[in-house]
């Protein structure tokens, strides 16, 4: 279930990066070609800023699901599958805590931006819209992180059973 959702969200994040690239190219070209009657895109940096935030949150669940976050695997080969699974579970518990913290602060920031009616400078886009767009992605990140904890717990318990079965032979 999570795999398809996270993959689709990550692909959407990749599409956003393509849109960001197009905005920058068109806007920079417009600046360079002002003598020919072209102009930069008004508020281009605001659009890039909002789209980049959305893209980052699109990639977080996929990265967590695939174990793409940075880990230190110096002793992995020596420790064995069971201990490695337990360590992975501990890392994912920490990541779940961080994901919850991010989602909570994003929610709190969104409420502040709504309360004070803050808008972007040029396009006058309400800033809370960007927060609201990122919030469901942050919640997906929390759910995926919690799911990876359960996945690693199952793997650690299965590795423990495999080790006991081999010891009994």
Q: Taking the CA of residue 136 as centre, how many other CA atoms within 13 Å lie in the half-sphere pointing to its CB? A: 6
In angstroms, rounded to a whole number, what is the distance separating the alpha carbons of residues 69 and 95?
Answer: 9
pTM, two decimals, is 0.88
Q: What average pLDDT does the segment 64-91 reach?
A: 80
**What secondary structure does DSSP assign to 40-77, as a single string?**
PPTTHHHHHHHHHHHHHHHHHHHHHHTT-S----TTHH
Lowest model confidence (mean pLDDT) among 11-25, 38-52, 70-84, 147-161: 70-84
**Cα separations (Å) of 82 from 70, 88, 157?**
20, 10, 8
pLDDT at 67: 87
Q: Which residue has the tokens 């010891």?
A: 167
Neighbour-count burial of 75, counting CB atoms closer than 10 A to its CB (0-12 exposed, 13-18 middle, 19+ buried): exposed
The pLDDT tens digits for 45-56 are 999 999 999 999
């Amino acid at each position: 279930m999570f795999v398809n959702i996270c993959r689709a969200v990550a692909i959407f994040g990749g599409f956003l990066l393509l849109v960001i690239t197009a905005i920058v190219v068109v806007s920079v070209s417009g600046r360079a070609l002002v003598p020919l009657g072209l102009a930069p895109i008004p508020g281009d940096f605001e659009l890039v800023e909002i789209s980049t935030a959305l893209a980052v949150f699109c990639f977080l669940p996929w990265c967590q699901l695939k174990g793409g976050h940075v880990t230190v695997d110096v002793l992995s080969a020596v420790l064995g599958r069971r201990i490695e699974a337990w360590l992975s579970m501990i890392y994912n518990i920490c990541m779940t805590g961080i994901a919850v913290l991010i989602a909570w602060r994003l929610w709190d920031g969104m409420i502040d931006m709504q309360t004070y009616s803050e808008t972007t400078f040029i396009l006058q886009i309400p800033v809370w819209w960007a927060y609201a767009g990122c919030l469901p992605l942050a919640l997906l990140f929390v759910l995926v992180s919690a799911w990876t904890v359960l996945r690693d717990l199952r793997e650690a318990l299965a590795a423990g059973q495999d080790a006991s079965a081999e010891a009994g032979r």
